[in-house]
């Protein structure tokens, strides 16, 4: 896990898209990460409801930070899968996302993010995302030889033609 936790504002500065949407990262620990997105007419769809894509961006941002804070030293992450259920629209106020890790493994981290309408503290959506744990692979020294029966790269396959 990350030993020195950066300040939430520093983490947010690494995500210009989230900043452009108006997302604010309010808490960032490996156990719980939170962020907010204020209602804005330019982020709405029909009926003055916050667009689902804006809410998904909030959940993905907060969830990715939660996953990042659970990475082993020197690793990186990328979203492999994300699924969101919406329960009701956000028509005013501020949406708040609260992320918690469900599983922290060697190759994947699964995070669940609940999205609330802050004023009424009503659950408006829930996102579950799977994040890859990306580590640098160690390569064998050049002096090490492959066994004689090991397949040769590309053996038995036709190489694609580049045009």
- Taking 80 as the threshold, does the pLDDT of residue 144 lie above it? no
d(CA 78, CA 94): 27
Specify the pLDDT at position 125.
98
pLDDT level of residue 2 (50, 70, 90 thresholds): very low
pLDDT digits (tens, 9 = 90+) for 72-113: 999 999 999 999 999 999 999 999 999 999 999 999 999 999
Confidence tier at 143 by pLDDT (50, 70, 90): very low
Q: Which residue has the higher pLDDT, 141 or 105?
A: 105
**pLDDT > 50? residue 157:** no
What is the value of pTM for the model shown? 0.81
**Residue that wins the pLDDT comparison between 75 and 120:** 75
DSSP 72-125: PTT-EEEEEEEEEEE-S---SSEEEEEEEEEEE-SSEEEEEEEEEETTTTEEEE
């Amino acid at each position: 896990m990350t030993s020195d936790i950066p300040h939430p504002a520093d983490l947010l500065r690494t995500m210009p898209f989230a900043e452009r949407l108006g997302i604010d990262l309010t808490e960032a620990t490996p156990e719980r990460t939170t962020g907010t997105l204020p209602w804005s007419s330019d982020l709405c769809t029909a009926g003055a409801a916050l667009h689902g894509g804006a809410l998904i961006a909030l959940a993905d941002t907060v969830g990715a930070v939660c996953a990042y804070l659970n990475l082993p030293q020197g690793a990186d992450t990328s979203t492999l899968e994300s699924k969101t259920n919406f329960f009701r629209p956000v028509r005013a106020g501020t949406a708040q996302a609260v992320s918690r890790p469900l599983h922290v493994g060697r190759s994947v981290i699964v995070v669940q993010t609940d999205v609330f309408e802050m004023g009424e503290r009503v659950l408006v959506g829930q996102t579950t995302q799977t994040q890859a744990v990306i580590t640098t692979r160690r390569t064998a020294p050049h002096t090490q030889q492959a066994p004689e029966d090991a397949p040769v790269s590309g053996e038995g396959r036709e190489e694609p033609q580049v045009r």
